[in-house]
Amino acid sequence: TWVTVVPVEDAAAVHAVLRTAGRNRATAATHCNERSSRSHSICTIRIRASNEETGQSLCGALNLVDLAGSERLKTSNASGDLLKQTQSINRSLACLGDVIAAIAEKQPHVPFRNSKLTYLLKNYLSGGAKVLMLVTVSPAAAHLPESTCSLRFAQKVSVCEVGTVRRGAA
């Protein structure tokens, strides 16, 4: 797992870090996509602000999560390392679906530890955070099965309530 912490002081530095992360992201050509992401990407921006007059300090975090898309093994024709990557991506997305389902059904146990992805997102999916999910789908008829699968996943997420946002002072 690649985890890098980079302190930044301004928006320009944040943009530079995001550009570097984008260049480091592994991609490969498959039959489904000529530039297929071979990993998920999570960028956490921690923000601390203080009011000099009152002395109050607040902190927050903005998580930008770009999930690698699921690919059907039959249509991707992946083999070797690409096959292992595809299986790993699909497994972690299935684990995320299990977590979303457990939260939506208000189950007493949510399986956050079933994947690195869900474990990293635990604090944000356990309540106390606002979560927004964007889904990108292809308009091409050839990609209808994958687009339908993505939209079904988005529907599952849309009925999930992660709790009330709590304001925390640092």
Residue 56 has what pLDDT?
Answer: 94
Residue 93 has what pLDDT?
Answer: 87
Beta carbons within 10 angstroms of residue 169's beta carbon: 7
The rounded mean pLDDT for the chain is 81
Residue 169's pLDDT band (boundaries 50, 70, 90)? Answer: very low
Residue 109 has what pLDDT?
Answer: 95
- Name the pTM for this structure: 0.73
Residue 57 has what pLDDT?
Answer: 92
Residue 170 has what pLDDT?
Answer: 41
The rounded percent of the chain whose pLDDT value lies above 70 is: 81
| pLDDT over 70 at 147, yes or no | yes
d(CA 136, CA 134): 7
d(CA 94, CA 97): 5
Tally the residues of the chain: 170
Adjacent-strand bridge partners of 133 = none
pLDDT tens digit sequence for 55-90: 999 888 888 888 877 666 666 676 788 778 878 888
Cα torsion at 102, 106, 107, 113 (round to 10°)? 50
Average pLDDT over residues 114-137: 85
DSSP 42-63: EEEEEEEEE-TTT--EEEEEEE
